[in-house]
Amino acid sequence: MASATASAPVPAQGQASTSSLSIFTAPQWIKSLYSKFPLVVLEQEDELDWKARAAGAPDQSVELWIHPPTATQPHAHYKSWASPSPSSLRTQLLFLLRDTPSRSPIPVSFRNWPNESSAPGGSLPVLFIPGQERLLRTEEIRGWLEGTYPLKGKGKELQGLPSQESYDKALALSQLILGTLYPAYLASLPLRPKSLFTSTAELASDKLHLLFPNPPPLLAGLTTPLPASLTGDARDVDVDEVVRRGIEALDGIEVVLEGSSNASAGAAEGVWALGAKNPTSLDALIASHLYVLYALPDTAVMRHTLETKPVLGEYVDRVLSYAQGRL
């Protein structure tokens, strides 16, 4: 008598068991198609430019890609190596003002990068580390610098400043520069007609607010029931008011740096911002945002105001001359 329960079929020899097959197995017709195009990996015949330079670079050296100089007329404080962009120049100074553990300058070189959109993250500066074949985006550079060349001594928690009071003043001064002086610089740049801007050296009049740390309110207001697709994202930017606040910021910075006015231009030692014994990251911030104002058109109110303040000019010369001596 035949058994009431049929036994499970046994797979034929050479036939894979269904339990060993992946649930993502492709249909047979796809396998047949792909079998006609086998994967072939060829050896690279050419060598990338940055890899070629990495082979001959000294150990621990880095390369900073920055905004290239513009075709503006050199001014009294001009340095050929200094980028005309506040962000690039600030990073340049962060490297040049920082010491290695042996108290020597950080081995850094600068490379002009004309196409900012092609840089990692679409922004400059970018740090290239030849020894590790790494490219660091703008927001990663400061963390790498602090981790690789940390500040030493008891003042490292205060970023090299002499006291907690001076550290608190530095925070307020940083906010004044980034939140007030920098927008005034942007508002003083030559503006193009309404179109997308290509760099911070030439902005579109309707896109100016996009670079402000604190954008102004929407021109249409916040209570309109219409969607943004109809009202747009236009902002009410009072350029004259932005510049006026920038002039007030210059007055405040002049008061803070008054103690540096007696230091000779180009001196390697002297009074740094807020009485620091050595140059700090605050000096990099202040000097970078003052230096770029000298490159504004001669008719710019911000440039004219800055040129009437010799204390600020002497300070910029002192910081950049000290940095140039460490190149």
Least confident of 163-172, 256-265, 277-286: 256-265
pLDDT of 224: 55
Q: How many residues can be counted in the chain?
A: 327
* More confident site: 164 or 213: 164
Arithmetic mean of pLDDT over the chain: 78
The pLDDT tens digits of the residues spanning 24-56 come to 577 888 878 877 777 777 776 655 555 555 455
Strand pairing of 108-112 and 126-129?
unpaired
Decide if 116 contacts 123 (C-beta within 8 A).
yes
pLDDT of 107: 92
pLDDT of 219: 58
Compute φ and ψ for 112, nearest 5 degrees. Answer: -70, 130
pLDDT of 100: 84
The torsion angle over the Cα atoms of residues 53, 58, 64 and 70, rounded to 10 degrees, is -70
The pLDDT tens digits of the residues spanning 63-109 come to 999 998 876 678 889 999 999 999 999 999 999 999 888 888 999 99
Q: What angle do CA 247, 248, 252 make, to 5 degrees?
A: 120
Least confident of 143-152, 191-200, 205-214, 253-262: 191-200
Q: Residue 30: helix, strand or coil by DSSP?
A: helix
Q: What's the CA gap between 158 and 150, in Å, rounded?
A: 12
Distances (CA, A) of 251 to 176, 193, 195, 214, 245: 11, 32, 34, 21, 10
Least confident of 78-87, 251-260, 300-309: 251-260
pLDDT of 75: 87
pLDDT of 177: 96
pLDDT band at 59 (very low <50, low <70, confident <90, very high): low
Mean pLDDT confidence for 124-148: 91
Annotated domain spans of the chain: 49-192+199-223+230-324
Mean pLDDT confidence for 268-295: 88
Region of 103 (left: φ > 0; alpha: ψ -120 to 50; beta: rest) is left
pLDDT of 1: 45
The separation between CA 287 and the C-alpha centre of its own chain, rounded to angstroms, equals: 16
The pLDDT tens digits of the residues spanning 144-200 come to 999 999 888 777 788 888 889 999 999 999 999 999 999 999 889 886 444 333 444
Neighbouring C-beta atoms of residue 300, cutoff 10 Å: 20
* More confident site: 304 or 116: 304
pLDDT value at 20 more than 50: no
62: part of which helix (H) or strand (E)? strand 62-66
Decide if 161 contacts 280 (C-beta within 8 A).
yes
Tell me what percent of the residues of the chain surpass a pLDDT of 70.
70
Chain position carrying tokens 């303040």: 309
Q: Is the dihedral of CA 69, 74, 76, 79 positive or negative?
A: positive
pLDDT value at 315 more than 50: yes
Compute φ and ψ for 18, nearest 5 degrees. Answer: -65, -25
Q: What's the CA gap between 185 and 242, in Å, rounded?
A: 9
The separation between CA 71 and the C-alpha centre of its own chain, rounded to angstroms, equals: 22
pLDDT band at 235 (very low <50, low <70, confident <90, very high): low
pLDDT band at 203 (very low <50, low <70, confident <90, very high): low
